Structure 1
Amino acid sequence: MADSAHDAQRIGTREREESISVLGEHFEAGRITAEEYGERTATAGAAVVRGDLTTLFEDLPEPRPSFLRPPLPQAPPPGVVPGSVPVAGLYAPPPMPQYQFSPKSKVAAGVLNIVLPFGIGRFYAGNTGIAVAQLLVTIFTFGVGALWSFIDGIVLIVNGGLDGEGRPLRD
């Protein structure tokens, strides 16, 4: 049960509307009847403090309005890295994640897409779905669709992309 100071906080239109929306989800799921839905939405529309809305959701499972969910855990003290382990009174940072890069090059994929505008760069990177789409668009638009491959090649060179396994292309 929430504390009385929290329940006594005044609410605004956003909280009332979010509560009515979530009640609609419960009604659609069949958790409350049409009569209960009408009563609860009327109560939510007239609510003044959080406690008025808290009672509407006490007997319902998730989802709940975001402002009625439990607060997130407190942040660690300044200078302490989350997930770190105390070592002799000091905190050691957690190990850095190792990112797996693709053996394929973003520059090679981009240049192939520009020079051979039939999705060849996407085939090289392992994105066969996009590659086939670029190939078919280029064929069925009598070459006009090559513009897609050309622009995609520039985007690959500038921003990079992912290979067929979701790994970032290397520089």
Structure 2
Amino acid sequence: MNGGIDPNELRIGTAEREEASRFLAEHFAEGRLTTAEYEDRVDRALAARTRGDIQPLFTDLPAPHPAFLSSMPDVVVTAPQGSDVQAQTNEAQPVVASDRSAVAAGVLQLVLPFGTGRFYTGETRLAVLQLVCVVLTLGVGALWPIIDGIILLVAGGTDGKGRPLQ
């Protein structure tokens, strides 16, 4: 044993659990998950304590995945010395910020809690899910967009193209 910490054993917090839930909602909106699968995975995400608890929820789903899962170390394959295979580096790509504001999105979510902030950021699938949730629960479901607005104000978020909000 090399004494290093297994990334799957790292503890996660509320922000990571909610990020995983948000991405599961996007996959549900795309029709990749049935209602039962979605509910089961969200329950498991909210009960998760480590990265290893979250990772299996996304193994059979295409991107997008929560950002904290992509920061896990990649398996590195090295080519034999003298081979013609060129080394590939995992250089960070420049981050292009969104033209949308996290503060504006958060305030819209709080003032008009039926997905307005998510419509503003371009995440229309999530916004429609929030709108439907509020309408079907006769307003009780407004708790989700309000919590989402608080998270946008505190931690920021991404727009519909995955770019970080300003």
User: Which bin holds the TM-score, normalised by the shorter protein?
Assistant: 0.3 to 0.5
- Which one has a bigger Cα radius of gyration? 1
> Which has the higher relative contact order, 1 or 2, with Cα contacts under 8 A spaced 6 or more apart?
2
Given the two structures, how large is their TM-score scaled by the length of structure 1? 0.44
- After TM superposition, the score normalised by the length of structure 2 is 0.45
